[in-house]
Amino acid sequence: MKIAVFAGDGIGPEVTREAVRVLEALGLPGLELIEGDVGGAAWRKHGHPLPPQTLAIAHAADAILFGAVGDFQCDHLERALRPEQAILGLRKELGLFANLRPAKVFPGLEDRSALRPEVAGSIDLLIVRELNGDVYFGEKGIRTLPDGRRQGWDMMSYAEDEVRRIAHVGYKAAQGRGGRLCSVDKANVLETSQLWRDVMIEVSAEYPDVELSHLYVDNAAMQLVKSPGQFDVIVTGNLFGDILSDQASMCVGSIGLLASASMAVGTKGLYEPIHGSAPDIAGQDKANPMATILSAAMLLRHSFGREADAARIEAAVAKALEDGFLGGDLGGSHGTRALGDAVLERL
């Protein structure tokens, strides 16, 4: 079980440390942890946010546990050298195309959501986000028009096979859950989305046991607030998935509780909390490590098939929360190390 550990910037090292403690406490056979530098920390040491030695570690590993990247002190750098290029580069190099982001309210935390408790308590969904296409990876630039005005442009596009590949991930996920798949697009105004919808309908013929529905992204955002319990699995593109998954995190109470998996074909994946590097609280023992610990649970489940160990971690996190161990993001006063200790004690 060779796991690359890329802690990154800001609170990344702190929250990753707690997840590693949990993994080590399980006594997993053949566990090997290999650390590597990414983000602003890597740029300072190696001159690049994703240096060759880190890439080599990533390629050799069975799975990657990732902290966070982002450093305002690197804002002056050209885009290719900024910390965020580390995660984009890993997605491209490793073929990580499917982002899985579960969102579920933990018992007892319904009142921590921005929604009414009875609404928040109904949330139990999975967002499947395509990672390799869309406007993030299309051609882009800023040009000067003949009259001297500047114009920024970004190309949004999807190839049919890219949509078909993520569609299968969404349908299979729905088969293992409640059997309902909602495809989110903007087909009323975007040709890219019309192709997306057409392919989603075509692939549905292979999954007669899954109920397919469609929503425009603006309506989907509204429904996530109005009636989130209606959703089982949401599958959508890169841009819409980025926005909706962050919205879902606040519906459940805190971005500090949400884990994610970015999967390649097969079992290789990168696992990370969906929050950022939060440099304003870095090194102060204030960060909530629960999302990173839950990411480690997803790592065991999806890359190694260790469902029992993953469930153990998730149960320990749920019990710690139920017992009142809350970070500052949830209105509590427990620090990073104390929250990690609480999970370990319940493991």
Residue 60 tokens read as 């050799």
Domains located in the chain, CATH noted = 1-104+256-347 (3.40.718.10), 110-252 (3.40.718.10)
Q: Among 51-55, 100-104, 111-115, 151-155, whose mean pLDDT is lowest?
A: 111-115
Q: Which pLDDT value is given to residue 23?
A: 98
Q: Which pLDDT value is given to residue 138?
A: 87
- CA 37/CA 86 separation, integer angstroms: 10
CA 277-279-280 angle, to 5 degrees, is 135
The per-residue pLDDT of the chain, averaged, comes to 94
Residue 82: exposure state from Cβ atoms within 10 A (0-12, 13-18, ≥19): buried
Residue 253 confidence (pLDDT) above 80: no
Q: Which pLDDT value is given to residue 205?
A: 98
> Confidence band (pLDDT; 50, 70, 90) for 33?
very high
Mean per-residue pLDDT, 155-167: 96
Q: Which pLDDT value is given to residue 135?
A: 93
Residue 95, sorted as left (phi over 0), alpha (psi -120 to 50) or beta, turns out to be: left
Q: Which pLDDT value is given to residue 9?
A: 97
Residue 244 confidence (pLDDT) above 80: yes
What pLDDT digit, counting tens, does each position of 68-120 carry?
A: 999 988 889 998 899 999 998 999 899 999 999 999 988 888 888 888 988 98
Q: Which residues are tagged catalytic?
A: 136, 186, 218, 242, 246
What pLDDT digit, counting tens, does each position of 182-218 carry?
A: 999 999 999 999 999 999 999 999 999 999 999 999 9
% of the chain residues with pLDDT over 70: 100
- CA 117/CA 138 separation, integer angstroms: 40
